[in-house]
Structure 1
Amino acid sequence: MGREEAELLLIDIPGWQLSDDARQLRRSFTFKTFVDAQLFAATVGELSEEEGHHPDIAYGWGYCTITFYTHKIGGLHENDFIMAAKVNSL
């Protein structure tokens, strides 16, 4: 998927950003505690396992960053945007 198509799909998933090379989707969420961030990371992990589409997840005290891209193709696919929308709905 090229940058132009990705930017059009990005409109429908508030808070997400494209990486500089437009091959990844990323969003950081903030939380009041480490436990809240950890629970969110686990919830995203469970959703991802159910959907069979796994992001990179990094979390620590007060934050959780989710990065989607399709590992097989080394870039973005429509499924990455669908998963980002599902994460937004959590």
Structure 2
Amino acid sequence: MNRRKLSEEEIAEKLKDLDGWTVKGKELTKRYEFENFAGSLEFVNKVGEIAEEHDHHPDITFGWGYAEIALTTHDTGGLTEFDFAVASAIDAT
């Protein structure tokens, strides 16, 4: 998969294929809502498995009823196709 930093135009185009994801600075982010803490924790554990499978690890913040995911490719200083692929994989859980 290409790890070239995407242009703003490429990012805008790829965002069209993702539901609920936004760009904040150099990160692709999304907040997920759950019924309780257990739901949040279960989701975070699934995201951890996806991250390991792809060898691409997001920042995760979670608590009672929510989880927030932030993806970026640190070595390029921005977003790459890889970030969007992992976001899609997370959404498929």
Give the shorter-chain TM-score range: over 0.9
Q: Counterparts of 1:68-83 in structure 2 under 5 Å?
A: 68-83=71-86
Computed over aligned residues only, the root mean square deviation of the Cα atoms, in angstroms, reads 0.8
2:23 to 4, 18, 27: 18
TM-score norm. by structure 1 comes to: 0.93
Q: Which runs of 5+ in 2 are unaligned?
A: 1-5
Shift of 1:74: 1.9
Structure 1 runs (4+) deviating above 2 angstroms are none
Aligned to 1:9: 14
Question: CA–CA distance in 1 between the matches of 2:46 and 2:38?
Answer: 12
After TM superposition, the score normalised by the length of structure 2 is 0.90
- 67-76 vs 24-33, which deviates more? 67-76
Q: Percent sequence identity over matched residues?
A: 39
